[in-house]
Amino acid sequence: MDFNQVSEVLAPFPELESASFVHGMLVGLMSGDSEIKETVWIKKLIEEADIKSVKESFLQVLHQLYLETDAGLNGSGFDFALCIPDDTEELGFRASMLGQWAEGYLYGMGLLGKSDKDLAREVIEFLSDLGDIAGIDAAGLSEPGDEEEADFMEISEFVRMGVLMVNEELNPTQAAPIMEAECPTDTLQ
């Protein structure tokens, strides 16, 4: 989902912070509860921001965001992408949006009310790392070099892969059982 497209429909609702925050919240909810329905997510979003009315375009973009996120999380994982600005934007802005994405993810997971005792150690460690990323200070990144760009890409990929790990941990895929091959016993005699 295009960051700018989502940002455009969210612009009238500053309470929602950013497209990155909203997507992070959705992914956090979906990672914590694979059965979360689109209507439940949109209702939570509207209630949390105390939104009184929305346009159809708002609902259409959220619908598309939900479908693409569900396909990315529950597919091969190769299609899963964070809703953050592309690399044509300033690094400081992208880093800030990655921080908001992490904040939204933690918020979404928090809405589910899972405690540490419900989570594996790796998941707890990842959520702690996301807390650090959510507090990212993007000041001073307006004139980045290649090293800072590489660091940002590495952190973005860490977040993406960590989310896929958490999703798999909390919502393991159910592989079809392997059927035993039938072997006629009379041919062995």
Tell me the residue type at 42.
I
pLDDT of residue 129: 92
pLDDT in tens, 132-142: 999 887 765 55
**Looking at the predicted structure, is the pLDDT value of residue 187 above 60?**
no
Hey, which CATH number is domain 3-168, 3.40.640.10, 3.10.580.10, 1.20.120.740, 1.20.1430.10? 1.20.120.740
Q: 182 versus 171: which is more confidently predicted?
A: 171
Terminal C-alpha separation, the chain = 62
The encoded tokens of residue 154 equal 């590495």
Residue 95 CB-density burial (10 A; 0-12 exposed, 13-18 middle, 19+ buried)? buried
Q: Do residues 18 and 41 lie in contact, with contact meaning Cβ atoms separated by under 8 Å? A: no
Q: What is the average pLDDT across 29-58?
A: 84
pLDDT in tens, 58-78: 889 999 999 999 888 887 767
**Looking at the predicted structure, is the pLDDT value of residue 105 above 90?**
yes
pLDDT of residue 154: 93
Average pLDDT over the chain reads 83
The domain ranges of the chain are 3-168
